[in-house]
């Protein structure tokens, strides 16, 4: 009886084991001939991460892969890197991930999760357990400190600045949570460099004359991550400013709509203990010379170094005017309306009864400037359809990222370019050509609208 039961169990279990092996669910057990004796991560600088592993297997390896994810509240991103493998019994594997180049930017302070997948000579895959680490600039010896949901990282004799950054971040988040009626749903990290030159390699590359003329005091480099570089005496306000961006993103950026730069930066400057002399003097000069900037043109950051201080100063002044004139509740409602999917003009009309031009004129009037007659901007009626990323069509010509189209790709893959002329003797041909041109023109308009939106 016992023998029959054992034989019956074997007939049931053996096919199940075979199926599990085929699915790879027992790969750890059957891949015991792959032994990992050492594993480490090196971060030599802000430009790279090096994954190292020592593996021993009698027949060598067919392939080794490092699979990684960078954790982000808006959605994790990741990929893989592959080292060179040999048939040696024991080999030291090394895979380098470039973190700051033309292909990707992974900021210092990011949290990585990674594992190795090793394929032995028989094709069996062995996967290591997941490991987690914080990507830091390996040129320095870092310290960290956490209070509540804020963690600060620093190095060298900058303990006082680190504690200031920790407190300023927490204070700014709390102030803006109250202002915008939201709560930060995740912890944040702050990486402190003692000055901008020390942190230059950790910044996203920009280049050009604009970058050479503008000092970067800090940046929100991810939804939950700040870089602070300031050494010009405004350390607390730089931190409060950048922490303000953390909250404005939570309060106003939705899946389809985002707040414009003037509103985002206006709140960030409003978060400071004071706007600062540079912003205020540029604002005063702009008002005195009647050269203030139209809000509609400030959907994105300005690309002229000479206008940076006016952009920040005026953005702060308009935000202050909105809060002081209409109150904090209406201001928070504006953010919620944009986050809910309304473009900024529609959200302003729903909350304040004016669009961006009307708000700009109301603010101008409040500082003693005459109102300006703007042509009516009609609401868009077409909903942009999703499409794959294409190569840029031209050179940006405005702060909002508009482009000058040079050619438009037709649906069949050919390229249609604008031309003039025709024949008065072939009516049928003209009708066909006009129809095609109209269709192509509408497609070009749609593409341009989508590019401006992006």
Same domain, yes or no: 84 and 155: no
pTM score of the predicted model: 0.74
Looking at the structure of the chain, the number of domains it has is 4
Same domain, yes or no: 274 and 398: yes
Reading the chain (454 residues) residue by residue, the pLDDT tens digits are: 444 434 444 443 334 333 333 333 333 333 457 899 899 999 999 999 999 999 998 888 999 999 999 999 999 999 999 999 887 788 999 999 999 998 899 999 999 999 999 999 889 999 999 999 999 999 999 999 999 999 999 998 878 889 999 999 999 999 999 999 999 999 999 999 988 889 999 998 766 554 555 567 899 999 999 999 876 667 899 999 999 999 999 999 999 999 999 999 999 999 999 998 899 999 999 999 999 999 999 999 887 888 999 999 999 999 999 999 999 999 999 999 999 999 999 999 999 999 999 999 999 999 999 999 998 765 543 333 333 222 222 222 222 333 222 222 222 322 222 333 333 333 333 333 333 333 344 333 332 333 333 3
In a domain, 388, yes or no: no
CATH number of the CATH domain containing 81: 2.60.40.10
In a domain, 239, yes or no: yes
In a domain, 165, yes or no: yes
Which of 115, 133, 151 is the endpoint of a domain?
Answer: 133
Same domain, yes or no: 60 and 124: yes
As a whole number of angstroms, the distance between CA 387 and CA 377 comes to 26
- By residue range, what is the domain housing residue 299? 253-374+394-404
Same domain, yes or no: 300 and 419: no
């Amino acid at each position: 009886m016992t023998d029959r039961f054992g034989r019956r169990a074997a007939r049931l279990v053996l096919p199940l084991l075979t199926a599990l092996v085929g699915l790879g669910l027992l790969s750890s057990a059957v891949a015991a001939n792959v032994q990992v004796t050492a594993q480490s991560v090196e971060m030599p600088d802000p430009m790279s991460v090096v994954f190292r592993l020592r593996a021993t297997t009698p027949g060598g390896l067919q392939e080794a892969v490092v699979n990684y994810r960078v954790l982000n509240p808006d959605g994790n991103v990741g990929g893989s890197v592959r080292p060179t493998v040999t048939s040696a019994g024991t080999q030291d594997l090394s895979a380098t991930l470039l973190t700051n180049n033309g292909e990707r930017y992974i900021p210092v302070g990011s949290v990585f999760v990674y594992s190795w997948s090793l394929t032995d000579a028989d094709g069996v895959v062995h996967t290591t357990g997941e490991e987690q680490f914080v990507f830091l600039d390996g040129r320095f010896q870092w310290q960290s400190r956490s209070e509540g949901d804020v963690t600060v990282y620093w190095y060298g004799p900058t303990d006082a600045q680190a504690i200031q950054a920790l407190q300023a971040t927490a204070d700014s988040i709390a102030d803006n949570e109250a202002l915008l009626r939201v709560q930060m749903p995740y912890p944040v990290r702050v990486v402190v460099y003692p000055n901008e030159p020390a942190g230059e390699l950790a910044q996203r590359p920009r280049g050009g004359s604009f970058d050479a003329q503008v000092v970067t005091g800090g940046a929100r480099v991810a939804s939950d991550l700040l870089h602070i570089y300031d050494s010009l005496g405004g350390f607390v306000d730089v931190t409060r400013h950048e922490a303000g961006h953390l909250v404005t993103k939570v309060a106003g950026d939705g899946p389809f709509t985002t707040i414009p730069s003037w509103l985002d930066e206006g709140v960030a400057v409003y978060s400071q203990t004071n706007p600062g002399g540079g912003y205020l003097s540029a604002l005063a000069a702009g008002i005195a010379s009647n050269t203030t900037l139209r809000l509609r043109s400030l959907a994105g950051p300005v690309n002229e170094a000479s206008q940076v201080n006016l952009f920040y100063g005026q953005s702060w002044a308009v935000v202050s005017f909105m809060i002081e004139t209409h109150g904090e509740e209406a201001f928070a409602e504006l953010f919620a309306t944009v986050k809910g999917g309304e473009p900024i003009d529609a959200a302003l009309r729903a909350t304040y009864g004016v669009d961006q031009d009307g708000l700009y004129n109301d603010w101008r009037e409040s500082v003693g400037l005459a109102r300006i007659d703007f042509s009516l901007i009609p609401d868009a009626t077409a909903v942009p359809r999703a499409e794959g990323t294409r190569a840029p069509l031209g050179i940006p010509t405005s702060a909002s990222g508009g482009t000058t189209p040079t050619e438009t790709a037709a649906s069949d893959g050919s390229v249609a370019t604008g031309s003039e002329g025709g024949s008065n003797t072939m009516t049928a041909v003209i009708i066909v050509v006009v129809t095609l041109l109209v269709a192509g023109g509408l497609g070009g308009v749609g593409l341009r609208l989508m590019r401006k939106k992006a």
